[in-house]
Structure 1
Amino acid sequence: MIRLYNVLLLFFLSVSVFGQKADHGLWNAFLQTYVSKEGLVNYKSIQSNPEHLNTYLNTITKTPPQSHWTKQETLAYWVNAYNAFTIKLIIDNYPLNSIKDIKNPWDKKFITIKNKTLSLNQIEHDILRNMNEPRIHFAIVCASMSCPKLYNEAYNAKNLEAQLNKAAKHFLNDTTKNKITKNKLELSKLFKWFSSDFKQNGKLVDFLKQYSDIDISKKAKITYKDYNWNLNE
């Protein structure tokens, strides 16, 4: 599998260097190599072969979003960047039990794009949340078991709408993350922390009803589950 990745790396690197837009094919190959279908990450193997991750990160830092990019292209770029740099943060500090074992992990400025040094929080709060797309919260992954699943495919502009819908539906209906009945909701704290994002077009229940497999009452009682910060490996 690693040998196949090396072949793909040479191909996608040649495409990305000479293209004007970020090519996430390299990230897609990386995810298929190191992330399981269940979203678990093989951090140990990545740490042993960091050049694969570093090559993708070097590629996207050289092809930052431009004003002529579509919203879908920009969203896909920043979601992939957030997830890739989160993995970078973990392997630079691995082994560890939780991302919270790192001091101020989300405020650490270690990401250089457009000659600016950014933190994960800046990507999430200053960039992604300002794009008025609440489904990004099901796509960006904080390396923890209670986080949304890290899919082993890259986000891309062409399929972004379907990918975000899939991520939202899967997260909401995952009984390890949320327990939903018609009149009672035990929700992930994501819905509490970012409640304003999910209420842009109505109440939280209105948002949830779009993706729930269960017909939720608008009077359903809401509580929030404890968050499991153990590493997603």
Structure 2
Amino acid sequence: MYLVMKRFLICIAVALSLQSCNLLSAAGLSSAGQPTKEVPTDLTSTTANSAVNVDHSEWNALLKTHVSNSGLVNYEGFKKDRSKLDAYLQKLSGYNPGNDWSVQELLAYYINLYNAYTVDLILDNYPTKSIKDIDGAWTKASVPVGSRNLSLGGIENGILRKMNDARIHFAINCASISCPKLLNEAYTAGKINEQLDKVTREFINSDKNDISATNVKVSSIFDWYKKDFITTETPTIIDYINKYSTTKIKAGTPITFKEYNWSLNKQ
């Protein structure tokens, strides 16, 4: 009886702890059998050596039209172009990614898939003040890919994070003010490395972080996904930030984390 009650209390404690989207989306969600490839440290942008080259021009046009340079989204405009978005989503869902896809194609495909279906989720529930007000936003298997259905959390945690390139955290957008901005161009295999470097550098040097040589208050992303940023090349969070920051932080400087603003990233 004691063991049963103990397990029950543990389950309640775990459930109560799953309040932020990063923890919630990581709760038991997987790749659903989708291929993942580890990103090499010397990743180059190329369309070569892939059985498939996905054309993301439709998504690129929508982003150019409805997303500002600062990453704010005109959801009303997207609603008017809903048929174009639906056509692009159907196109993406018609693919069945495999191991014969290059790592560049997989990265671009899954980042665009995540971002486009996040916009679609907001439109399905518009108007909304926050993505966190949408039931199961990251856990519902609402993203069809080939014969499978994925969740947004599964794409992030089961696929993209397993590719071992922490820059993906600054490429996927969760429709909130504190999120890395939604890039107003589609990710492509031919530009993927430069695009990931660009969004990482822009985010770290943006007002989402307060950085000086001896005072560091940064996005909670660096707290939630801390282990993703720590590698043999960057053994601390400061080392990772210094790799991209224009202001270099002194080693050993204490880090605090900013409160996350989950308000919708609308224009």
Which TM-score applies when normalising by structure 1?
0.89
Superposed, which structure 2 residues align to 1:125-140 within 5 Å?
125-140=157-172
Asked if 1:23 corresponds to 2:55, the answer is yes
- Higher RCO (CA-CA < 8 Å; seq separation 6+): 2
Matched length: 214
Q: CA deviation at 1:20?
A: 4.4
Cα distance, 1:114 vs. partner? 2.4
CA distance in 1, matches of 2:247, 2:180: 19
Whether 1:72 and 2:104 are equivalent positions in the alignment is yes
Match runs of 1:116-155 below 5 Å: 116-155=148-187
Contact 2:52 2:101 in 1 (8 A): no
Offset of residue 120 of structure 1: 0.2
Q: Deviations over 1:114-153 (max 9, x none)?
A: 2111110000000000000100000000000000011110
Counterparts of residues 33-182 of structure 1 (less than 5 Å): 33-175=65-207, 177-182=208-213
Residue 259 of structure 2 corresponds to: 226
User: Structure 1, unaligned stretches of length 5 or more?
Assistant: 1-18
Q: Deviations over 1:147-204 (max 9, x none)?
A: 00111101111111111111011000102x0000111110100000000000123111
Aligned to 2:217: 186
1:200 aligns with 2:210: no
* Residue identity in the other structure for 1:22: V
How far, CA to CA, are the matches of 1:139 and 1:87 in structure 2? 14
Gaps in structure 2 of 5+ consecutive residues:
1-50
- State the distance in 1 between where 2:193 and 2:52 align: 23
- Check the 8 A contact 1:82/1:140 in 2, yes or no: yes
Name the amino acid aligned to 1:180: I
Q: Is the 8 A contact 2:201 2:244 kept in 1?
A: yes
C-alpha separation between the residues in 1 aligned to 2:129 and 2:95? Answer: 33
SS at match of 1:117: strand
Alpha-carbon distance between aligned partners in 2 of 1:200 and 1:120, rounded to the nearest angstrom: 26
Task: List, as ranges, runs of 4+ consecutive aligned residues in structure 1 with deviation greater than 4 Å.
Answer: none
Bigger shift: residues 88-97 or 49-58 = 49-58
Cα drift, residue 104 of structure 1 = 2.2
Sequence identity of aligned pairs in percent? Answer: 45
Q: Secondary structure at the match of 1:210?
A: helix
Q: Which amino acid aligns with 1:67?
A: N
RMSD: 1.2
Shift of residue 109 of structure 1?
1.5
